[in-house]
Amino acid sequence: MYDLIIKNATTIDNQPISVAVTNGKIEKVAQEIHDEAREIFDANGLFLSAGWIDAHVHCFEKMDLYYDYPDKVGVENGVTTIVDAGSTGENNIRDFYEIAKNAKTNVYALLNISKNGIVTQDELSDLSRVNETKNIERINELPEFIIGIKARMSKSVIGENGVKPLVMAKELQKKVNLPLMVHIGTAPVALDELFTYLEKGDIVTHCFNGKDNGILDTNGKIKEFAKTAYHNGVHFDIGHGTDSFNFEVALRAKEEDILADTISTDIYSRNREYGPVYNMATTMEKLMFVGYSLEEVVTRVTKAPAKALGFTTKGEVKEGFDADFTLFEVANEAKELRDSNGATKEVNQKIIPKTAIIAGKVYNI
């Protein structure tokens, strides 16, 4: 007998779907399943996708600048897997892990190359805080938790150090063979110089920020080097955050067929409570306003982040994969959306997560 059967759900391409789960894994996927199970979840009227993955959050409650609680940004928003993007470094990531492992939400981390993570805003202004030996030690100690590395490369973070922190991050990446996420923002480093260090698979977060040092030139076109990098496989991630998502940049990029590869929130307590982020669904709605289809936004919070971050059993509704699902409605309701620069847009469609299922456990929202 199965542990759980989810019945009568609808896929995003409007097909009926039922899923049977045992021991936290997907055992069977079909249009209809009539077998026995300990628990039946009737998903009539709901869309079912693989559990949403947020590739950029801040969820270590003991930090002062950017902090939150895993389940507040995760399961309560219909997000089954969250990746903390560099809140902590080799000196404090073990504390974070001890707390994070008790969350209902699946929590993973990108290791900040600076030892204490974002304890202060300028964690890479003093490079004595980057200790490669200890970074490698920690990565080897917590392979089930640390899935990549993070370097924040903008003026307020790096001080006078120019590209040096990025060079150090790339050296570490070569040794540990993990994904690297690079935060972009105000110069220095100038974005064209920064991009010369990036390779296929490297993740640029805050890709559609509205800052001068962003991907949009003064004529409203996407800068040539950014386009080339994108087409060569540098991964563009939204990382909305308080300051880093601009409708105009996202719209102009869409006009040139540059769609973000993944949709992430860069959520933490303040931008969750007071906006402009609020939650993952709102961030997805913003990209739908930009012109992405429902399928395109859902892929960008499931299969795409799983692939970019090396989750080999997440992101798809497939036999043998983890039994993580998000069940949601798309309702025709008016809503105002606001970007990081205060621009507002009226939309008539809302994405409303109703239930998150994590390793076969049902959490109604």
Q: Measuring CA to CA, which residue among 123, 71, 78 is closest to residue 102? A: 71
Minimum Å gap between C-beta 219 and Zn ion is 29
Both tokens assigned to 301:
């919070």
Nearer of residues 73 and 298 to Zn ion, judged by Cβ: 73
Judged by CB under 5 A, the number of residues near Zn ion is 2
Q: Which of residues 299-358 bind Zn ion (CB under 5 A)?
A: none
Site string for Zn ion, 65-104 (x = CB under 5 A): --------------------x-------------------
Annotated binding site: 56, 58, 150, 183, 206, 266
Minimum Å gap between C-beta 58 and Zn ion is 6
Q: How far apart are CA 12 and CA 15, in angstroms?
A: 7
Nearer of residues 2 and 60 to Zn ion, judged by Cβ: 60
> Please, are residues 134 and 89 in contact by the beta-carbon 8 Å criterion?
no
Minimum Å gap between C-beta 241 and Zn ion is 6
Nearer of residues 50 and 204 to Zn ion, judged by Cβ: 204
Which residue in the shown chain puts its C-beta closest to Zn ion?
266
Annotated binding site for Zn(2+): 56, 58, 150, 183, 206, 266
Integer angstrom CA distances of residue 215 from 52, 178, 203, 286, 323: 27, 25, 14, 19, 37
Q: How far apart are CA 69 and CA 91, in angstroms?
A: 20
Nearer of residues 185 and 360 to Zn ion, judged by Cβ: 185
Site string for Zn ion, 248-287 (x = CB under 5 A): ------------------x---------------------
Minimum Å gap between C-beta 93 and Zn ion is 15
Minimum Å gap between C-beta 263 and Zn ion is 14
Minimum Å gap between C-beta 204 and Zn ion is 13
Helix then strand then coil, % of the chain, to nearest 5: 25, 30, 45
Nearer of residues 85 and 194 to Zn ion, judged by Cβ: 85
User: Could you identify the residue written with the tokens 């969350």?
Assistant: 103
Q: How far apart are CA 179 and CA 284, in angstroms?
A: 23
User: Could you identify the residue written with the tokens 């950014």?
Assistant: 226
Task: Fill in the DSSP letter of residue 222.
Answer: B
Both tokens assigned to 87:
């809140």
Both tokens assigned to 132:
């490669």
Both tokens assigned to 204:
């640029």
Nearer of residues 21 and 181 to Zn ion, judged by Cβ: 181
Q: Is 237 in the site for Zn ion (CB under 5 A)?
A: no
Cα angle: 89, vertex 68, 296; to 5 degrees: 90
Residues near Zn ion (CB under 5 A) are 85, 266
